[in-house]
Structure 1
Amino acid sequence: MRFGYEDLQVWERAVQFAVTVIDVIDDLQCDRKHFRLIEQIESSATSVSANIAEGKGRRSQKEFIQFCYISRGSLYETMTFLEIFHHKGWINTDTYKKLRSEAYEIASMLKGLINSLN
């Protein structure tokens, strides 16, 4: 038995993106006094897939679409934190570029999903 969201490639990619972000955060080269930023990026990264799953479990297509938009917002929030971390030198350029590329693909997949539901 599978949950409906497990059939969505965008959900799977978002889960893997969150795992990668958490792995990067675990290796951060920064003073841990910035724990609030670290908690926030972990929250936003995991919210991408969580909102897709929650939306899929809702009763209407309209609600699912709304949760896809929320998911996209969480993805953008995550990328903003990664941009800040990159500027601070906490993550290197190669890591930042890989995460940015993955986020762009997920955003494109979310857009396609939203368009298919409209």
Structure 2
Amino acid sequence: MASISSFEDLHVWQEARELCKYIRELTKIIPFKDDYRFCSQINAASGSVMDNIAEGFERDGNREFINFLYIAKGSNGEVRSQSYRAFDAGFITEEELDLLLLKTHNLKIKLSNLIITLKNSGGKGYKKR
């Protein structure tokens, strides 16, 4: 098994980054980009997924990491919900919606699995609280 020495090594973070990049591309297209508030909101939510994975990893404690993974999972759910809003508003196609739903579903599963793995690992990291 490969050693994980930074959050960039985590496949779940890499997938969250890909989701964030895909959202950014979608929000550059008219009419989506004309809804500034919504563009900002969905970009912030997708960025929150990858950022919370990174922040939690850097905390050096499993309990804190798990907490941040739950936050990332919530932000991922927010992106999933906003994907439906974007589709309903006519900002994205059905194919783009399907890809977003697939990406967010896969991330949800991977985040859940990582949480379970950390909970069952017995290790608490450097911080005991």
Amino acid in the other structure paired with 2:95: D
Indicate whether 1:84 and 2:85 are aligned. Answer: yes
Calculate the TM-score normalised by the size of structure 1: 0.92
The answer as to whether partners of 2:27 and 2:33 remain within 8 angstroms in 1 is no
- Alpha-carbon RMSD: 1.5
* Counterpart residue number, 2:68: 67
| % identical aligned pairs | 28
For structure 2, the 5+ residue unaligned runs are 120-129
Q: Deviations over 1:49-106 (max 9, x none)?
A: 1000000001311000000000011111111111111011111100000111011001
More helix by share: 1
| CA–CA distance in structure 2, aligned partners of residues 98 and 59 of structure 1 | 33
| CA–CA distance in structure 1, aligned partners of residues 113 and 33 of structure 2 | 39
Q: Of the two, which has the highest radius of gyration?
A: 2
For structure 1, the 5+ residue unaligned runs are none
2:22 to 1, 20, 23: 20
The answer as to whether partners of 1:28 and 1:91 remain within 8 angstroms in 2 is no
Calculate the TM-score normalised by the size of structure 2: 0.85
| C-alpha distance 55-31 of structure 1, shift in aligned 2 (>3 A) | closer
Deviation (angstroms), 1:3: 5.6
| Secondary structure at 1:89 match in 2 | coil
Deviation (angstroms), 1:5: 0.5
Count of residues in correspondence between the two structures: 116
Deviation (angstroms), 1:41: 0.5
* Counterpart residue number, 2:57: 56
